[in-house]
Amino acid sequence: MALLEVNELKKEFLGEILFDDVSFSINKGDKLAIIGNNGVGKTTILKMILKQIDIDGGHISVANGKSIGYLSQVMINSFDNTLYKEMLLSFKEVVEMEKNLKELTIELGKNPNDDVLLKKYGYLENLFMASDGYNYPFLIDLMISKFGFSKNDYDRKISSFSGGERNKIAFTKLLLSKPDILILDEPTNHLDVNTIEWLEDYLKNYEGSIIIVSHDRYFIDNVCNLVLDIANKTSSFYSGNYSFYLEEKVKRYEQQLKEYNLQQKEIEHLQELIKKFKPKPNKVSFAKDREKKLSKILENKIDEPKNSKKNIHLNLKTVDDRRVRQMTISDLTFGYNDKSLIDNQLNFPVYFGDKVAIIGPNGSGKTTLLKTIAGMYEKISGRIVKHRELKIGYIDQNQIQISSTKTVFDYYHDEYPYFSNFEVRRQLGAFLFSSDDVYKCVNNLSGGEKVRLSFAKLVAKKYDMLLLDEPTNHLDMDTRKVLESALIDYPGTIIFVSHDRYFIDELATKIISIENSMITVFKGDYENFKISLKNSDLDLIDDTNNIKENNIYEDYKNIKETKPKRNKSMSIEKLETKINTLEKEIEELEELMYLEENYTNQRKMDEIDTRKYDKKLELDKVMEEYLEKLDNY
């Protein structure tokens, strides 16, 4: 018998159907992922199962006597409890049994031959063992440590912890309570990679059933054996993990498309026969028979399959597209109040086109390093040398906190006043702000919409380097996929912090790992980084030699080892000044192209374009000289 059955579930809001005919069932041990774009009703389904939201149609049934656990701060009994006392409440019955066993032990010491006491003790001990009573202190220690708490926190009151820490406490207590059906809404949010990977292993072996709403594709793939896809106001059920779902969804779409096209041809053929033979007296019966058949087909007409894939057309631009060293980080330490977060030093050359992921547990210093590179935080020691003037774009994980009473259109237009109304709409439309969406108040946008608006602002600028802190937070799967594709195609440099392992593996070509106060650099993607960790054979960049790494400019990689003669025609300082001047002149010419008096005059546009091309050629020659001198400086 199924633990949970959902049949033809329906929900409406203000007369609009959110979803209809959602059906699925789960048995003991099943792990179901509910997936779909933001706003399709995933969390609504969870709340309907929990009876927090009314059902507008359909039926939900839970097997008798089966418990449901839901991740929320309601799990915390009292903020005045200490951390350990709160955890003990998950084993309330076991602790009571333990207390009774101790009392019986004392009584048996006084009356060792009392058969009644012996039977009572034997029964209670068996029940205690079946309830895993001897292991509960170990389980509490394990869970607390896995969520980042130490034994020093055991006697702290819950009220003394931050909001994020309270969420982890609630999660810990929920897992310790082991409900028959465990419901988790975005369980990996704000957890570091190590904790997520441990949680995956724990949930895979969880004896009960689990329902998960998540955008973490690795997590779903590793934990779940069932997928419920919510799209086009209905659901599709898949018996397999996320990888199976991706393959099967394509097969189903192609099959449905074949069936739809075949039926359309049959309908067209019948309509032609009816039209042709109905006027003929000797064919009236035949025509009526065709009409009956057509009527039956139309009653069971196959809907044209819809492809719900979002299309965000990102055109991430950059100033330069050559393989040059943009920045050299040498002997760097970083942290707060002159206290370094790492025990060693970071030495790392940054080349144009690098895609670098910064990974590590929460609190290890990932965001601090990113902000230090951005110049937002002062470094403690070492050097960050920019080998040219760099335009750097930065988006952090708090971008969803952008606040404005303006409409999306006005907010964006104020950022780019030289854009025409058409251009503003075109740029916003590329990020799915279409029709009346551009008139939404910024303060009323969802988290995902605010992230999209932040990227819409970002891509209109020509950056040499993008620094991104958790860029996929609050984005649904489809939007993440498109963002991944855009960032992979982006020719410039990206340094990013992320807990999304799929995103890291898709994008990163180098990994900076911070763990146990040590920082290391790995050349390769995330999957190979994990394999290397298991094999204890990290292909790390040598801390002492990586500053002298080859290929400052790949066009020169075949130059002989002997140093060329120094060109004394212009010093490095003068070359840097010349480069900055030329770049500013090119930028000014590009701004001229946005003036109406110019873009409406083809002759002027051609003239500006020619001047810009000449300046770029001159910049290229100056840059070659500069790089050659820098390489031999």
What digits encode the pLDDT tens for the residues 557-577? 333 333 333 344 577 778 768
**The pLDDT value given to residue 549:** 36
Between helices 193-204 and 136-146, what is the axis angle to 10°?
Answer: 140
**The pLDDT value given to residue 564:** 39
Output the DSSP codes for 401-466: G---SSBHHHHHHHH-TTS-HHHHHHHHHTTT--GGGGGSBGGG--HHHHHHHHHHHHHTSB-SEE
Cβ–Cβ < 8 Å for 2, 53: no
Structure tokens given for 629: 């001198």
**The pLDDT value given to residue 221:** 92
**The pLDDT value given to residue 565:** 39
Q: What one-letter code names the amino acid at 188? A: T
Output the DSSP codes for 239-255: SS-HHHHHHHHHHHHHH
CATH node for 325-553 = 3.40.50.300
Using the structure block, give the residue that is written with the tokens 């946008």. 445
Helix (H, G, I), strand (E, B) or coil at 238: strand
Strands (E) across 322-387 are located at: 325-333, 335-336, 339-340, 346-351, 355-359, 381-386
Q: Which residues pair with 229 in a beta bridge?
A: 35, 236
**The pLDDT value given to residue 544:** 34
Structure tokens given for 202: 């724990």
How many Cβ atoms from other residues are within 10 Å of residue 78's Cβ?
Answer: 12
| Helix, strand, coil percentages for the chain (3-state, nearest 5) | 50, 20, 35
* pLDDT tens-digit series, residues 278-323: 888 877 887 888 888 888 888 888 888 876 555 555 555 555 545 6
Question: What is the rounded distance in angstroms from the CA atom of residue 390 to the CA atom of residue 388?
Answer: 6
**The pLDDT value given to residue 74:** 67
CB burial readout 57-75, b (16+ within 10 A) else e: ebeeebeeeeebbbbeeeb
Q: Which of 571, 586, 547, 551 is nearest to 391 (CA)?
A: 586
The sign of the dihedral angle between the CA atoms of 238, 243, 247, 250 is positive
pTM of the predicted protein model: 0.65
Cβ–Cβ < 8 Å for 495, 373: yes
- Angle 565-571-573 from CA coordinates, rounded to 5°: 140
Question: What is the rounded distance in angstroms from the CA atom of residue 327 to the CA atom of residue 572?
Answer: 16
How many Cβ atoms from other residues are within 10 Å of residue 146's Cβ?
Answer: 17
End-to-end Cα distance, the chain:
76
Residues of the chain with pLDDT under 50: 321, 537-568
